[in-house]
Structure 1
Amino acid sequence: MRKPARQAQTALNGREPSLLPELCSIEALFMLVVAAELLAVLLSVASQGLAALSWAHLGLVSALVLWITLASAAIICSARPLLERIPPLAAWLVVYVVILLCAGVFSALGQWLLKGIGRGFFDGWQVATHVLLTAIIAGMLLRYLYLLQRLRAQQQAELRARIQALQSRIEPHFLFNSMNSIASLIAVDPDLAERLVEDLADLFRAALSKTSKVSAERELALTRAYLRIEQLRLGERLRLSWDVATPPDDAELPHLLLQPLVENAIYHGIENSRTGGELAVKLRIEGGELALSVYNSIAESTQESRRAGNKLGLDNVRHRLQAFYGADAQLIIDARPESFCVNIRIVDVRQRPVLPREKKKA
């Protein structure tokens, strides 16, 4: 279930997808073994017929196909960093030649083990037949994998563009509200406003960053900086409850996921109320699973503005969660006359391992 989310994360971290087949994972090797066995059965039935099928012949064909498949996969996987440095067409040609060489080598080796080449039993035509069959099958398979990788690269490019568009809709509104908050404090307490400019600088750097995912601790720090500004602007009208456990080091969240939620809670549920209201943030991450809730009370005078103003921001957050995690994330809204609560649950927010050939951007 999580495979699409992992592919989305790779795309959103700014790494261009490779058009070469990925054969280094356990899942890929398992599929190769299954495909090799099915191919061995097909070749055996085609050459002997189902009625005369010999288990010994099937075993020999199966062994040959498996050796060719696994050896080719091992060589391609080991040489992948080098192949990615040359033009894609040349890389695919090298992959094709490697598979044909493995077919020729293991076909000849099989004859040597079974009959002995030094005793005149070597059959060059049989080796050529095996290489030709491998060329046909490998050509069709590589063509399919190439088209599949091209389609995946196109989908990832579209996903990157979609996420950037959604995030760009959040940043201007977020920065505009932060600047207004500080501007309202300049006449009342210039020294305090000056100190808050440092928090705003951090918010600017975060909002203008092109990073799609950040550590959970960084996302929480950004939200705390924003809430410090709002707490000093609204004073006792903002009654803040912050119940957040220290997140694991490997936990990551989409950039600007939490801050828009608390911003909505303040501007649509608390700011317009003369008596203010309560804002409660709860976050737990256990075993990689995240449970987040943002609750705010609503006064009667602000209920209509809440209904009119929350939908766009929440839809934006929902779409981003879907793009990053697919079905592994849920956003549930609990809207009542006196309160509004957003609940988010993500199956796994742990940082994905990075391959040695990939480097994270600072």
Structure 2
Amino acid sequence: METVSTMTAPETDKKQPVSPVQPSSLAEPANPFLPELCTSQSVFLLVLVAELLALLLTISASSGLQHFDWDKLALISVQVQWVVVFSAIALCRLRFWLARQSHVRAGCTSYALVLAITLVLSVLGQWIIYGVSGMAFIEHQGFEFDGWQLLNNMAIAAILSGVLLRYLYLQQQLRNQQQAEMQARIQALQSRIRPHFLFNSMNSIASLIATDPDTAERVVEDLSELFRASLAEPSLIPLERELELCKHYLDIEQLRLGRRLQLDWQISNYNKDIKIPSLMMQPLVENAIFHGVEPLPKGGKITVKVSQNDKQLSIVISNPYLLVKKNHYQGGSQRHSEQKHNRMALDNIRRRLTAHFGAAARLSSSAENGIFTTYIFCPLTV
């Protein structure tokens, strides 16, 4: 475990801008027309629906359950399952192409593709049954297509595939809308995260320009990194990048607070590919200074612990806070306002964690013996 304690501002170093890493997926088009049909869950549901359909067709062809024909069920099941499986594979292969077409063209193409597969497999099925049944070995017995059976298969496929494709289309459009709303909500939550120390930072830069231009330049670079991340699209970024943003922020605050701000970094070994929501830790460190270290005359120490196990990432941020008795004076009112602001920031981070990871991520906090601690647990995402 690497533990670093900092009492004064670090040495000047040039930092090259690093752009946030945007999550990319090669298996998901930007605006899919149909859901992903090649996943194990989708295939299982399609096979289940196909078997229920075969059962329904068998009951109808057998004139009820009292004359149920198991051989007919097996025959219909094979035909229906092959049509469904091959149609799912074909639509899965064309998913990226369909996403780039208009909805009308994509819908017509999908519908025609399913009907074409049904036609081919129906003809092939009749030929296979003709051969397996032994008719091919009877002299002067020629193979003839059953036109009515072929027409029945096409009619059933036309009706059911139209209904199923319409359902899948509406389901995917609903998911697209939910994803768009989720991204908009994450963007709105992230857009509220703006370092309130902007004016203090500008004052620090102004005072350093004449006396220490190199440090002033470094502070400008740190500030630009923070606002570049704050204005970027909401995304999951590497944990290492988030730690760099926290250090940029703390470098600026170190100039203002000096020895009043002490830092203790306890960073265990972790997978470099782990990703967390952008600007998740920085607001918590900002609150630790604003509500904890800054009100204390002697300042205090902020501890940042990062550790990883097989299932989740653990982040613990602790800071001292000023113990104030409740009163009805202006100071008490101001303290209540600060606590309310802190709760809003924690709720903001909690909603962003939920938006990205769902119920698998947790954020909690505790205040005990003058130490306020924030705990974050989120599943490993690489």
**TM-score using structure 1 length:** 0.86
Query: Is 1:100 the counterpart of 2:99 in the alignment?
Result: no
Higher share of residues assigned helix: 1
Query: Is 1:320 the counterpart of 2:334 in the alignment?
Result: no
Query: Is 1:77 the counterpart of 2:109 in the alignment?
Result: no
- Give the Cα–Cα distance (whole angstroms) in 1 for the partners of residues 188 and 200 of structure 2: 20
- Kindly state the Cα deviation for residue 15 of structure 1 after the two structures are TM-superposed: 7.0
- Whether contact under 8 Å (1:268, 1:309) holds in the other structure is no
**Aligned-partner SS, 1:295:** strand
- Give the Cα–Cα distance (whole angstroms) in 2 for the partners of residues 263 and 45 of structure 1: 68
Write the letter of the residue equivalent to 1:72.
Answer: S
Residue 366 (structure 2) aligns with: 334
Residue 41 (structure 2) aligns with: 27
Residue 128 (structure 1) aligns with: 151
- Give the Cα–Cα distance (whole angstroms) in 2 for the partners of residues 181 and 62 of structure 1: 76
- Kindly state the Cα deviation for residue 79 of structure 1 after the two structures are TM-superposed: 2.1
What do residues 239-285 of structure 1 show as CA deviations (whole Å, max 9, x unaligned)? 21111234323211111000000000001111111111121111123
Query: Is 1:296 the counterpart of 2:319 in the alignment?
Result: yes
- Give the Cα–Cα distance (whole angstroms) in 2 for the partners of residues 150 and 212 of structure 1: 22
Residue 238 (structure 2) aligns with: 215
Cα separation, partners in 2 of 1:65 and 1:97, compared to 1, 3 Å: same
Cα separation, partners in 2 of 1:21 and 1:27, compared to 1, 3 Å: same
- Kindly state the Cα deviation for residue 309 of structure 1 after the two structures are TM-superposed: 3.2
- Give the Cα–Cα distance (whole angstroms) in 1 for the partners of residues 375 and 207 of structure 2: 31
Cα separation, partners in 2 of 1:184 and 1:246, compared to 1, 3 Å: farther
- Give the Cα–Cα distance (whole angstroms) in 2 for the partners of residues 181 and 299 of structure 1: 26
Aligned residue among 45, 55, 61 for 1:47 = 61
What do residues 22-49 of structure 1 show as CA deviations (whole Å, max 9, x unaligned)? 2122221122112111211121122212
Q: Where in structure 1 do 4 or more consecutive aligned residues deviate above 6 Å?
A: none
**Is there any run of 5+ residues in structure 2 with no aligned partner, and where?**
1-22, 325-330
- Give the Cα–Cα distance (whole angstroms) in 2 for the partners of residues 173 and 102 of structure 1: 62
- Give the Cα–Cα distance (whole angstroms) in 1 for the partners of residues 358 and 203 of structure 2: 35
- Whether contact under 8 Å (1:185, 1:233) holds in the other structure is no
Aligned-residue sequence identity (percent) comes to 46
Residue 310 (structure 1) aligns with: 342
Cα separation, partners in 2 of 1:84 and 1:307, compared to 1, 3 Å: closer
- Whether contact under 8 Å (1:175, 1:204) holds in the other structure is no
- Give the Cα–Cα distance (whole angstroms) in 2 for the partners of residues 57 and 110 of structure 1: 14
- Whether contact under 8 Å (2:219, 2:252) holds in the other structure is yes
Matches within 5 A, 1:1-362: 16-48=30-62, 49-116=64-131, 119-171=142-194, 173=196, 175=198, 178-179=201-202, 182=205, 189-287=212-310, 289-300=312-323, 304=335, 306-336=338-368, 338-348=370-380, 350-351=381-382
- Give the Cα–Cα distance (whole angstroms) in 2 for the partners of residues 22 and 77 of structure 1: 7
Cα-Cα RMSD: 2.6
- Give the Cα–Cα distance (whole angstroms) in 1 for the partners of residues 197 and 309 of structure 2: 30
- Whether contact under 8 Å (1:334, 1:342) holds in the other structure is yes
- Kindly state the Cα deviation for residue 51 of structure 1 after the two structures are TM-superposed: 2.0
- Give the Cα–Cα distance (whole angstroms) in 2 for the partners of residues 98 and 274 of structure 1: 74
- Kindly state the Cα deviation for residue 192 of structure 1 after the two structures are TM-superposed: 2.6
Cα separation, partners in 2 of 1:79 and 1:17, compared to 1, 3 Å: closer
What do residues 70-91 of structure 1 show as CA deviations (whole Å, max 9, x unaligned)? 1111111122232223212111
What do residues 117-173 of structure 1 show as CA deviations (whole Å, max 9, x unaligned)? 972442011011011111111111111111111211221221121111111110253
What do residues 157-196 of structure 1 show as CA deviations (whole Å, max 9, x unaligned)? 2112111111111025365564455456568755433332
**Aligned-partner SS, 1:340:** strand
Write the letter of the residue equivalent to 2:227.
Answer: F
Cα separation, partners in 2 of 1:198 and 1:317, compared to 1, 3 Å: same
**Aligned-partner SS, 1:314:** helix
Cα separation, partners in 2 of 1:96 and 1:177, compared to 1, 3 Å: farther
Write the letter of the residue equivalent to 1:324.
Answer: H
Cα separation, partners in 2 of 1:238 and 1:165, compared to 1, 3 Å: same
- Give the Cα–Cα distance (whole angstroms) in 1 for the partners of residues 77 and 374 of structure 2: 56
